[in-house]
Amino acid sequence: MKKTTFTARLLAASLLVTAAAPAVQAADRAAPVTAQKAGAYIDDSVITAKVKAALVEDKQVSAMKINVTTKDGVVTLKGSVPSAELGQHALQLVAGIEGVRDVKSDLTVKAG
């Protein structure tokens, strides 16, 4: 009786493993893509943090309200600046940060 129970359990376990194999293989193929997306997200968040820190530290830009978003290393600056020159300065500052592939401007010039 013990041998029959053991054999039945072994057979059931084998069937489960066989049935689950395609799902495991599919998950393994998908893992690099997920990991890559997670890595990109982490890199983008690090870049955003670096950009925000650089903007805060810069005496010319620190008082301005500029929103920063990063997607795949492309940084977008959005907000208003008091002059075109300060907007250009912010763009150049961001372009020099490690990891930034490109900088997009959604800045508007508003005096005061």
Tell me, what's the pLDDT at 110? 87
Tens-digit pLDDT profile for residues 28-41: 555 555 555 666 66
CA distance 75 to 93: 12
In the structure encoding, which two tokens stand for residue 105, read together? 């401007």
Tens-digit pLDDT profile for residues 67-109: 999 999 999 999 999 999 999 999 999 999 999 999 999 999 9
Q: What is the mean pLDDT of residues 51-58?
A: 94
For the chain, strand residue ranges (E) read 66-71, 74-81, 102-109
Domains in the chain, ordered, with CATH? 2-109 (3.30.300)
